[in-house]
């Protein structure tokens, strides 16, 4: 299968890239599963012009719009990629191969998880991996931040401004001292025990620690840092930064001609608005590059 632009990722940045590339009359193929997007299963309340609503609804509408402009969605993941003679070759899960003139990396990130009971089942129902994104949902409610590093300290201090009660679970604390002190002075209650389980009937109600402590809560923010899922970038010759993000220029181009990147994979902030904005730029840039490559 041949395409002008191949988009890796069907979250908000990838879908927006597909929309704008297709509108520029480029043939577009999109890989990835919408259900894997961090937007899936969540409530989005801070996206321009949209009232609070499920992320899956917004994604579905975006995909439908992209398809109306001619973009094709494969609904499966890329298993390998390579750059050959000015073209990019991708192999899919079912063996399908796509050769494209330009590629857009919109893979998002893979957030580090605790791997404890209840974490997966209650994701989007009180379990979050981004305090900055979801803090407003917890005004006047109880919150627990889980994590050992400075990112967790910053999130714990942040949540004290919103939640009626904030706990910080850090069993092997390595946060920068000043940040940890700020969290404590702001009122975050420290717990030096590893989390054992997150419990609740359809929503988060409590977190259980290994020392037997039970903390009633409305939300658990897991802040263990994040690693990018942009391994495919290296197959295309793009070298990720030390934090695994992909560096891009103002046109969302990477160091490799013909390869563009957008959304969470380019770094913080991990917000829908940023993902969509970069997706627009990346899609148009990729379409322009593909046209010149003809």
Structural domains in the chain, sorted by start: 2-111+226-293 (3.50.50.60), 127-222 (3.50.50.60)
Structural contact between residues 8 and 268, judged by C-beta atoms closer than 8 angstroms? no
Give residue 45's pLDDT band: very low, low, confident or very high (50, 70, 90).
Answer: confident
Strand, helix or coil for residue 43: strand
Please tell me the predicted confidence (pLDDT) of residue 211.
96
Beta strands in the chain (DSSP E): 2-8, 28-31, 43-44, 53-54, 72-73, 78-84, 87-92, 97-105, 109-111, 127-128, 142-146, 165-169, 189-191, 195-199, 206-209, 214-216, 219-222, 226-228, 259-261
Distance from C-alpha of 275 to C-alpha of 289, rounded to nearest angstrom = 21
Q: Does the structure show a pLDDT above 90 at 183?
A: yes
Instruction: Tell me phi and psi for residue 91, to 5 degrees.
Output: -110, 135
Please tell me the predicted confidence (pLDDT) of residue 227.
45
Q: Which residue has the higher pLDDT, 271 or 80?
A: 271
What pTM value is reported for the model? 0.71
Q: Does the structure show a pLDDT above 50 at 175?
A: yes
Segments in 146-206 forming alpha helices (H): 150-159, 177-185
Mean pLDDT along residues 130-147: 91
Contacts of 142 (CB under 8 A, 6+ apart): 163, 164, 165, 166, 167, 216, 217, 218, 219
Q: Does the structure show a pLDDT above 90 at 192?
A: yes
Could you read off the pLDDT of 209-255 as tens digits, one per residue? 999 999 999 999 998 865 445 567 888 989 888 777 899 999 999 99
Tell me the C-alpha to C-alpha distance, in Å, between residue 178 and each of 28, 52, 153, 154, 175.
49, 36, 9, 10, 8
Structural contact between residues 178 and 162, judged by C-beta atoms closer than 8 angstroms? no
User: How many percent of the chain have pLDDT more than 70?
Assistant: 97
Distance from C-alpha of 64 to C-alpha of 18, rounded to nearest angstrom = 11
């Amino acid at each position: 299968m041949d395409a002008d632009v191949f988009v890796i990722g069907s979250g908000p940045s990838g879908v927006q890239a597909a929309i704008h590339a297709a509108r520029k009359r480029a043939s577009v193929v999109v890989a990835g599963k919408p259900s894997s997007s961090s937007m899936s299963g969540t409530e989005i309340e801070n996206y321009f012009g949209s009232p609070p609503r499920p992320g899956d609804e917004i994604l579905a509408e975006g995909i439908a719009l992209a398809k109306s402009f001619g973009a094709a969605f494969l609904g499966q993941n890329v298993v390998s990629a390579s750059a050959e003679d000015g073209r990019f070759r991708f192999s899919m899960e079912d063996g399908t191969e796509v050769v494209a003139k330009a590629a857009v990396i919109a893979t998002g990130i893979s957030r580090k998880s605790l791997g404890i009971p209840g974490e997966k089942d209650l994701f989007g129902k009180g379990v979050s991996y981004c305090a900055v994104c979801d803090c407003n949902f917890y005004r006047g409610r109880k919150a627990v931040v889980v994590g050992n590093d400075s990112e967790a300290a910053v999130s714990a201090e942040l949540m004290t401004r919103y939640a009626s009660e904030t706990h910080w679970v850090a069993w092997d604390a390595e946060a920068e001292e000043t940040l940890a002190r700020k969290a404590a002075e702001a009122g975050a209650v420290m717990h030096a025990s590893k989390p054992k389980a997150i419990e609740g009937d359809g929503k988060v109600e409590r977190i259980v620690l290994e020392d037997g402590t039970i903390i009633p809560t409305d939300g658990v923010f897991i802040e263990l840092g994040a690693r990018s899922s942009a391994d495919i970038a290296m197959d295309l010759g793009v070298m990720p930064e030390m934090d695994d993000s992909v560096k891009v220029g103002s046109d969302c181009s990477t160091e490799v001609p013909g390869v563009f990147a957008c959304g969470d994979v380019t770094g913080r902030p991990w917000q829908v608005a940023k993902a969509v904005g970069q997706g627009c730029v990346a899609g148009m840039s990729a379409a322009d590059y593909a046209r010149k490559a003809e």
